[in-house]
Structure 1
Amino acid sequence: MTSSDTLAHNYHPLPVTLTSGEGAWVRDVEGRTYLDLLAGYSALNFGHRHPDLTAAAHRQLDRLTLSSRAFDHDLLHPFAEALSALSRPVIAGIDAPMVLPMNTGAEAVETAIKTARKWGHQRGIPEDEGTIVVAEGNFHGRTTTIVSFSTDPEARQGFGPFTPGFRVVPFGDAQALRAAVDERTVAVLLEPIQGEQGVVVPPADYWPTVRQICNDTDTLLIADEIQSGLGRTGTTFALELWGVRADLMTLGKALGGGVLPVSAVVGCPDVLGVLTPGSHGSTFGGNPLACAVGLAVIELLSTGQVQHRARELGTHLHERLRTLVQGGLLTGTRGVGLWAGLDVDPAWGTGRQLCERLLELGVLAKDTHGSTIRLAPPLTIAAEDLDLALDRLTHALR
């Protein structure tokens, strides 16, 4: 049995084995260096081994790493208070959002789904009848419940029977969403921007209209900011692009700074308050090490400098990508901040083939849905390194 036989084949990685990283650069076992334009699907918004984040982890490793939620620890409430304050601009109608710490993004989404259902049941919707409206092309995780409402055959096929209670409508179509909401709807669950689908940005009036629909029908609005949140779009949260507030928001990925899994559900106390002792929990959720790193992440975002940098570099990124479309090297591009989806002409090849060519040129990127690749460099990438990566992309396409 070879080493490849001992590892489940649920991924098809590019042929590179990494050993170290710093900032936007990583090194492989042969000593070659690469610019990382995937950033752990936005988990590495602050780059590899950001000194503030690794220092926070080192300090906490010498103190306490786990207490479980059977006991409090000295960083749990400070973390909740800091994340609550950071999230205040995008949570509806309150000055002090409530925080429920978890571990992975999928775990946060599962928590939000459970919370919304219980909230709806307590408001008179019969149990087993509450529905949640979601969007085609969504990606919220890979648990059984979540893939039950996925429209990606690869993520869904073979994993039934599926969890009922979801209605799927086209992303960006507010009128279709309005038609799907009825007296049995407890929530609308959406990504502000669909990352896995290829960084799909909805029409400008979409999110304000969705918010109004939820207001009119007394329906919860749940925003999945796991990929889009924490600086990626040039704002702390993508919802700020449209001035919209959610009732619940899920966070993950960059909240752990690429050091360890950290996630959370943030929202209105009268919604999260439906969870009582014993009704939901997590052994590692809100552990001391996670809180130490999460606090350091929030501190990095508190000045607004990271977000400002993502806006400035993002403007430059999208200008350069548009020239590749105008020059016929790409069929389309879209995105916001330091986040972009690039469409390759299928006659040229696949997104995978482009990523393999970029790998040869020392750039790491990831394909999605056949002919599309995503770019999501660390928000701390140097301007000259971003240009170097785009020069190599241009060379690869030519």
Structure 2
Amino acid sequence: MTLVDTPATMTGGPSLAQERRLVTAIPGPRSQELIARKAAAVASGVGHTLPISVVSAGGGVIVDADGNSLIDLGSGIAVTGVGNSAPRVVEAVTAQLNSFTHTCFTVSPYEGYVAVAEKLNELTPGDHVKRTALFNSGAEAVENAVKIARHYTKKQAVVAFDHAYHGRTNLTMGLTAKNIPYKSGFGPFASEVYRAPLSYPFRDGGLSGAEAAARAISVIEKQVGAENLAAIIIEPIQGEGGFIVPAQGFLPALVEWAAANDVVFIADEVQTGFARTGAWFASEHEGIVPDLVVAAKGIAGGLPLSAVTGRAEIMDSAMAGGLGGTYGGNPLACAAALATIETYEEDGLIERAREIGAVLIGRLNALRTADPRIGDVRGRGAMVAIELVDPATGAPDAALTNAVAKYAHANGVVVLTCGTYGNVIRFLPPLTISDELLIDGLSVVAEGLKNA
């Protein structure tokens, strides 16, 4: 970390000095001014993790209005995989901005939307004929995936899983498992939504993937019935639920059961997609081929875009005009997505995610060996987490988790917490981060654990 007396020049983008630098305490006076304005102008339900005012970001850092440079281990919740202000994205969006910003694709189509759909049809798992529809947010895409599955199967029930997170709209709140802050007081929720037990290796008592799948299928068959079930929706690695990686064999067994029972299998790859786990999509790690794939977050370098991609016969079942939206597949977001995908491909960011994962897993497992409060280290690629527990009982320790995160924030490292029990720290660095920054950020987390 560098300590300086005056704010550095804030040029933005990847030209930023790649260093952790504290000029003031966090928050500094300029950030405090913005947070005061936020309190007066923004609904209090819109929270924030760090009380800072961001003025630029790039590579692996975020710079605030007081000149503090923070290591970014959050990527805007897995959005800026290619980094902030990635050169190809900036160039592509600028060019599109100079052409046109909007026509509404469902009124006057344009090539960018079609090109993104073609690319997603190519990149998502499976060699079957596919179609894609574009939307704005992950929650919107999830809603549309369920809508499509119901229309195709002529059935209504949907099964989600324990610890799931699928969004904040009415239907996706129903699919989401965690009550506070996502659901409490916001009901009633959409009907015909059911929940099945997930494979959670750290807390499953040794269940294999096949055994956990049999348990889930039994619940589904007894409580819902395949004859009533339109779709199963699952995150291949859970995000907000705690970065839970199901035991090997769990996902393939669910896919096999769904196919045998005319149930649409939806993979919610909003957080796991686009190189994050060391593959284009996390479904690839177990070789599963979902019927529908939901994508968002890392798809467009920070611009709002989401997608549902799936089997042509399922996607084409909806009537003309049944899918769409005013801003879905906005031309600026489509230009950003094409440039983002090119950046993943040309800059070797899938392999970089694997390298980041090796650093994360190695360093965090070393910490775990020395500190029994780290109950589990898990994840794939640049999507890794630690679960913090009472070493005597294994009970979740949310207070410790909060203390470590606060220490990291105060010392210039952006980390995010998650998990149903609030006891998981997740690491989601931009794939453009250097090993040096990554290791420095992890050292701060280690200091936080020690000081707690």
Length-normalised TM-score, structure 1: 0.93
Shift of 1:286: 1.4
Residues 315-330 of structure 1: matches in 2 within 5 Å? 315-328=358-371, 330=374
Q: Who is 1:178 aligned against?
A: 217
SS in 1 for 2:231: strand
Q: Who is 2:343 aligned against?
A: 300
SS in 2 for 1:100: strand
SS in 1 for 2:441: helix
SS in 2 for 1:226: coil
Residues 143-292 of structure 1: matches in 2 within 5 Å? 143-154=169-180, 155-172=182-199, 173-179=212-218, 180-181=220-221, 182-258=226-302, 260-292=303-335
2:43 pairs with 1:4: no
| Aligned mates of 1:214, 1:3 — CA distance in 2 | 47
Aligned pair count reads: 386
SS in 2 for 1:75: helix
Residues 86 and 302, structure 1, Cα contact 8 Å, conserved in 2: no
Q: Which one has more relative contact order, counting CA pairs under 8 Å at least 6 apart?
A: 1
| Aligned mates of 1:389, 1:270 — CA distance in 2 | 47
2:413 pairs with 1:363: yes
Residues 153 and 262, structure 2, Cα contact 8 Å, conserved in 1: no
Task: Summarize the Cα distance change of 1:256–1:241 in structure 2 as closer, same or farther, 3 Å threshold.
Answer: same
| Aligned mates of 2:305, 2:414 — CA distance in 1 | 24
Q: 1:312 aligns with which of 347, 355, 365?
A: 355
Flag structure 1 segments of 5+ consecutive residues without an equivalent. Answer: none
SS in 1 for 2:227: coil
Cα deviation 1:313-334 (Å, max 9, x = unaligned)? 2112101100111111623221
Residues 189 and 224, structure 1, Cα contact 8 Å, conserved in 2: yes
Cα deviation 1:252-309 (Å, max 9, x = unaligned)? 0111211x10100000110010122222221111121111111112212335811111
Bigger mean CA deviation after superposition, 161-170 or 337-346: 337-346
SS in 1 for 2:319: coil
Task: Summarize the Cα distance change of 1:221–1:276 in structure 2 as closer, same or farther, 3 Å threshold.
Answer: same
Q: Who is 1:115 aligned against?
A: 148
SS in 2 for 1:386: helix
Shift of 1:13: 2.6
| Aligned mates of 2:340, 2:169 — CA distance in 1 | 27
Task: Summarize the Cα distance change of 1:354–1:22 in structure 2 as closer, same or farther, 3 Å threshold.
Answer: same
| Aligned mates of 2:442, 2:264 — CA distance in 1 | 41
Shift of 1:131: 0.8
Task: Summarize the Cα distance change of 1:291–1:39 in structure 2 as closer, same or farther, 3 Å threshold.
Answer: same
Letter in 2 for 1:77: V
Task: Summarize the Cα distance change of 1:83–1:171 in structure 2 as closer, same or farther, 3 Å threshold.
Answer: same
Flag structure 2 segments of 5+ consecutive residues without an equivalent. Answer: 1-35, 200-211, 391-396
Q: Who is 2:157 aligned against?
A: 131
Cα deviation 1:338-358 (Å, max 9, x = unaligned)? 111222346794322211110
Q: Who is 2:123 aligned against?
A: 86
SS in 1 for 2:121: helix
| Aligned mates of 1:337, 1:3 — CA distance in 2 | 35
SS in 1 for 2:190: coil
Task: Summarize the Cα distance change of 1:300–1:3 in structure 2 as closer, same or farther, 3 Å threshold.
Answer: closer
Shift of 1:177: 2.8
Letter in 2 for 1:16: I
Residues 133 and 177, structure 1, Cα contact 8 Å, conserved in 2: no
Task: Summarize the Cα distance change of 1:315–1:80 in structure 2 as closer, same or farther, 3 Å threshold.
Answer: same
SS in 1 for 2:134: strand
Shift of 1:393: 1.6
Q: 1:37 aligns with which of 59, 70, 73?
A: 73
Q: Who is 1:46 aligned against?
A: 82
Residues 378 and 384, structure 2, Cα contact 8 Å, conserved in 1: yes
Shift of 1:194: 0.5
| Aligned mates of 1:74, 1:291 — CA distance in 2 | 9
Cα deviation 1:20-43 (Å, max 9, x = unaligned)? 111111111110100010001101
SS in 2 for 1:183: helix
SS in 2 for 1:153: coil
Residues 167 and 176, structure 2, Cα contact 8 Å, conserved in 1: no
Letter in 2 for 1:298: I
| Aligned mates of 1:198, 1:286 — CA distance in 2 | 30
**RMSD over equivalenced CA pairs, Å:** 1.7
Identity %: 32
Cα deviation 1:212-241 (Å, max 9, x = unaligned)? 111211211000000001001001100010
SS in 2 for 1:359: helix
Residues 134 and 324, structure 2, Cα contact 8 Å, conserved in 1: no
| Aligned mates of 1:65, 1:84 — CA distance in 2 | 25
Residues 20 and 27, structure 1, Cα contact 8 Å, conserved in 2: yes
